[in-house]
Amino acid sequence: MNSDYDTFPAQVYADSVLAPDLDIYKQHFSAPLHAINLAHGAMLAEQHLLQPADSAAILAALLKIDQDRPWADQEFDGSFEDLFFLIERELGRQVGEETAGRLHTGRSRNDMEHTMFRMQLRARLLRLLDQYGALADRFLARAEQGIDETVLLYTHGQPAQVSVLGHYLGAAIEFVLRDMTRLMAALEDVNKCPMGAAAITTSGFDLDRDRVAALLGFSGIVENSYGAIANVDYITGSYSAIRLGCIHLGRLVQDLVTWTGFEVSQIDVADGFVQISSIMPQKRNPVPLEHLRLKLSLAGGGADQIVQTMHNTPFADMNDSERETQAAGFEVFDRLDHALPLLASFVEAMKTNQPSINQRIQKSMATITELADTIVRTEEIAFRPAHHVASKLARAALSNGMGFDELPWDLFAQTFEEVTGRKPVMDKTLLTRATSPQNFVAVREMAGGPGPGALRRSLDSYADKLAGLKACMHDIQKRITQADEARAHVVSGLIAGET
């Protein structure tokens, strides 16, 4: 390498870009590069663009290079630009430069690199989807357990209405399934092969793009050759879906943080997720939730960074979307590798604090909506005066420091008569039932409600949707596995002269 600026590479450029880029290439893209070399070489042989002897020599040498990995400890020394050229140089040493050069027929680093990027992003999206699926499984299991576990739900930071844990988690399961659907849609865009686009306009050689795509496990090709190189929506679509998922899970985590607070005490945290204070003996800090919130924020911010990197870049081949950006994006997946299993385990282990929840339900009068509804049904009056009766009762009870379970029937009867001008039909037994948390939940059997029948139907529906998403994931992974096997079989046949 040279310290002057007239000979490539300038030292500062090597140190700032080329050497770090080689490390990224070796860490993330050596395996996809090897697969692409084999698939392209096999296709050239099948299209009679390589002589049998040349294809056998090239493919055998590629296998040996991959096995020996002579590049693994190679530092950047300026004698090559990147791993592609390093492997091409090694291939030339083994089969001769002229024969080695035939492998590059009809292709460019442009289509090769975007194929590598898609292969790695595809693998990471599949892993992320698998983790989301495991998260949904754990949420579903905890929701099933929580069909009868009463919780107090909040709106605007204030106690609002009674539900059950299964119903609350059902809402989380729904957005998890939608986030999985968005990730699947992104994966479908990613799972298209750019090979054959060459630089940007394909090639005059009789290449079989579909064959290479099949040998690499893609569902098809990126149709437009310019778009195969210039488009970045497979990147922005993927990281936009990830960013949304981080936002949605982060909101759930923040709710759980609130629920663990002393003033709310809605859930008890398992000892395995509690850290103590070094000075305050009474402290039980649910620190894993803070780490979850942090990891999701960092992952979401990292995903947004990738999307914003694409902003205002040319609609053309450019380095802004390439290895350095791809590697930065992979850090997002690494954070989620830790976050999703932690969240799944935390939810699985958490227990509801029923005495605390019941006390707060009574003090907050969170079942009073059902009292108003019961008045409408029993007394056959409009909802507005019934709401007025319930509202006056709530104010009277709160001013006297009473919980709903302490509300005297005489006060109800007096309030009802003041509002309506007549005595109530409801008796004390009906009043007690109308204001109980269990009744509040039980009567809400409408689709999507917390009643046990409605909730079970919802959970069954979620399980079916999850199974469908998992089946799609399985099909994609199966295609990749079968492609790996087919590629190995074809290559071995070409080396043996059988094809």
pTM for this entry: 0.93
How far apart, in whole angstroms, are the C-alpha atoms of residue 262 and residue 363?
16
How far apart, in whole angstroms, are the C-alpha atoms of residue 119 and residue 195?
12
pLDDT (tens digit, 0 to 9) for every residue of the chain, 499 residues total? 556 788 889 999 999 999 998 998 999 999 999 999 999 999 999 999 999 999 999 999 999 999 999 888 889 998 888 999 999 999 999 999 999 999 999 999 999 999 999 999 999 999 999 999 999 999 999 999 999 999 999 999 999 999 999 999 999 999 999 999 999 999 999 999 999 999 999 999 999 999 999 999 999 999 999 999 999 999 999 999 999 999 999 999 999 999 998 888 899 988 888 877 667 767 688 889 999 999 999 999 999 999 999 999 999 999 989 999 999 999 999 999 999 999 999 999 999 999 999 999 998 889 988 889 999 999 899 999 999 998 998 888 888 888 888 888 888 899 988 899 999 999 889 888 988 999 999 999 999 999 999 999 999 999 999 999 999 999 999 999 999 999 999 999 999 987 6
How far apart, in whole angstroms, are the C-alpha atoms of residue 257 and residue 291?
11
26, amino acid identity: K
How far apart, in whole angstroms, are the C-alpha atoms of residue 216 and residue 210?
10
> Which pLDDT score, from 0 to 100, does residue 4 have?
75
104, amino acid identity: H
Structure tokens at 170: 């059902």
Structure tokens at 457: 């139907």
Domains and CATH numbers, the chain: 11-104 (1.10.275.10), 111-352+455-483 (1.20.200.10), 368-435 (1.10.40)
Determine the Cα angle at 487 with ends 485 and 493, to 5°.
105
Structure tokens at 495: 């080396």
- Of 195, 199, 232, give the one whose Cα is nearest residue 216: 195
How far apart, in whole angstroms, are the C-alpha atoms of residue 488 and residue 483?
8
> Which pLDDT score, from 0 to 100, does residue 349 have?
95
End-to-end Cα, the chain, rounded Å: 45
> Which pLDDT score, from 0 to 100, does residue 338 have?
96
Place of tokens 């998403």: 469
Structure tokens at 383: 């909802």
Place of tokens 């056959």: 380
Q: Over the Cα atoms of the chain, what is R_g?
A: 32
Q: What is the DSSP string of 278-292?
A: SS-TT--B-HHHHHH
> Which pLDDT score, from 0 to 100, does residue 99 have?
97
Residue 123: other Cβ atoms inside 10 A: 17
Cβ proximity of 306 and 239 under 8 Å: yes
197, amino acid identity: A
Q: What is the DSSP string of 279-345?
A: S-TT--B-HHHHHHHHHHHHHHHHHHHHHHHTTT--SS--GGGSHHHHHHHHHHHHHHHHHHHHHHH
Cβ proximity of 266 and 259 under 8 Å: yes
- Of 330, 378, 412, 367, give the one whose Cα is nearest residue 117: 330
Place of tokens 């770090």: 20
